Homo-oligomer: A and B are copies of this chain.
Amino acid sequence: MAERIVVIGGVAAGMSAASRARRLAPAARITVLERGPAAAYGACGLPGFLAGEHPLAALRAHPPEEFAERRKIEVLTGHEAVEIVPARRLVRARQDEREIAFAYDRLVIATGAEAALEIPGAEHRLLFRANTWEQAERLERFARERQPRALAVIGAGYIGLEVAEALARRGIAVRLFERGAGVLPSFDPDVAALVEAAARRQVALELGTEVRRVRAPAAEGARLETTAGDCDVDAAVDCAGLRPNVALAAAAGAALGPTGALAVDDRQQTNLAAVWAAGDCCESRHLVSGRPVWIPLGPAANKQGRVAGQNAAAGPPARFPGVLGSLALRVFGIEAGRTGLSTQQARQAGFQPREERIEANTLAGYAGRQRLTLKLIYDGASRRPLGCQMAGEPGAVMPRLNAAAVALAAGLPLDALELLDLAYAPAVAPIYDPLLIAAHRARDSS
């Protein structure tokens, strides 16, 4: 009888797992249970949809039929897994009022993340979110049909910034609330400040301000009670962070790691027999600190899904080495990116972080101007590079951010960094890349 592989969650990690499993186990019966109305879409494109740049359907990399017909993967949307019974190897799911049991030989959990914010009024009809297809659809419909003039966005991490920019592009006045002292908490404050300055040109940014309650005193419009006073807007969007969605797996006995996300080994296997996990619901190992971290980002989710799917399909053993938290963003006319540890993360991980920060042109001076601020973080004791962050004009970030990410993954020392043979042409790159200059200065200052 054909082996049955069940995947819970049909977005990045889940669909990657199912597709990889299909390739390696051509005879298996593969079923994906997705509680939302759509599967296999790129959730990172939801802000672009909110901005009106493309329809929601554009986020589907493949049409739904492709999975059923070409890949022979059964994708059941509107099916919410409500219980995993490891002893009997079955998953109970709810579809509308029905409950259906799915037997599995091997299970992949890819339940993702959910909003972490808990504020009274959070279930309010004028409080929106933008993490999923259906949440974004609801918000976009509101923006289109009700033509709000003023919206609050809660949280100025990278998703909050992207959503705020998207709404501002629609001509909506956006007030962006952040309870921390600056935007982009995974960046060092001085690099984040460059993005903050760009954001302030297009939205009203309220830093150090916590939203305590969302109320609706009038027939239309919401009132936000914040630590800095009340604020009346047409509605609010909660982008105040995520937490791993682990309740289902935890109830079945899946172990959580120190981060609160599902604990997995480097094959993405949980402590439960025949159960793997991938994506935003599970933690991973940081390639620089070696410690467990929870950094919910799309590229890692896809790769973990692929590893989980390969192992669940009993293919050649696949391993996921870990993450650097590499992240890029383009918002408010500026590009920024990070990889590895921030100064604060480095300190928390027991390093003695030092930094070399430079301002540079990423083209030959005579060929053009493309400004970048680049910061290299390294350990004062071992002089090992720990992380790299940057912000600058569009196009300036990625050529050296990826180089830094590879160098961190490979564990290259400072003096190797300085002598890397990066590519050069006057109109495309500077003869000494800013990353190399930073490494040179860091070594010279020793």
Report A's interface with B, CB cutoff 8 A.
12, 42, 44-45, 48, 53-54, 58-59, 61, 287, 297-300, 302-303, 320-330, 335, 337-339, 364-367, 395, 397-403, 405-407, 409-412, 416, 419-429, 431-433
Whether B405 lies near A420 (C-beta < 8 A) is yes
Question: Smallest CB–CB gap between A434 and chain B, Å?
Answer: 12
The residue from B45, B405, B432 contacting A422, defined by CB atoms under 8 A apart? B405
- Known A44-B424, A423-B326, A425-B329: A405·B407 in contact at CB below 8 Å: no
**Which B residues touch A401, using CB under 8 A?**
399, 423
Whether B300 lies near A428 (C-beta < 8 A) is no
Give 20 A-B pairs besides A12-B431, A322-B421 with Cβ atoms closer than 8 angstroms: A44-B364, A44-B431, A45-B366, A54-B366, A54-B367, A58-B365, A303-B419, A320-B419, A326-B423, A327-B425, A328-B423, A328-B425, A337-B423, A399-B399, A403-B406, A405-B420, A405-B421, A406-B410, A409-B412, A409-B416
Distance of A61 Cα from B432 Cα, bound (Å): 12
Whether A406 lies near B397 (C-beta < 8 A) is no
Whether A326 lies near B410 (C-beta < 8 A) is no
Distance of A140 Cα from B343 Cα, bound (Å): 51
**Which B residues touch A419, using CB under 8 A?**
303, 320-321
Whether B431 lies near A299 (C-beta < 8 A) is yes
**Which B residues touch A328, using CB under 8 A?**
423-425, 428-429
**Which B residues touch A410, using CB under 8 A?**
406-407, 410-412, 416
Whether A402 lies near B423 (C-beta < 8 A) is yes
Distance of A297 Cα from B425 Cα, bound (Å): 10
Whether B302 lies near A432 (C-beta < 8 A) is yes
**Which B residues touch A335, using CB under 8 A?**
428
Whether B423 lies near A405 (C-beta < 8 A) is yes
Distance of A323 Cα from B421 Cα, bound (Å): 6
The residue from B287, B327, B425, B429 contacting A423, defined by CB atoms under 8 A apart? B327
Whether A409 lies near B398 (C-beta < 8 A) is no
Distance of A297 Cα from B322 Cα, bound (Å): 36
Distance of A299 Cα from B423 Cα, bound (Å): 8
**Which B residues touch A330, using CB under 8 A?**
425, 427-428
Enumerate the 4 nearest inter-chain pairs by beta-carbon distance, A residue then B residue, closest first: A410-B410, A398-B399, A58-B366, A406-B406
Whether B431 lies near A42 (C-beta < 8 A) is yes
Whether B405 lies near A324 (C-beta < 8 A) is no
Distance of A365 Cα from B402 Cα, bound (Å): 20
Question: What are 7 A-B pairs with beta-carbon distances under 8 A?
Answer: A42-B426, A45-B366, A326-B421, A328-B429, A401-B423, A410-B411, A410-B412
Question: Smallest CB–CB gap between A156 and chain B, Å?
Answer: 16
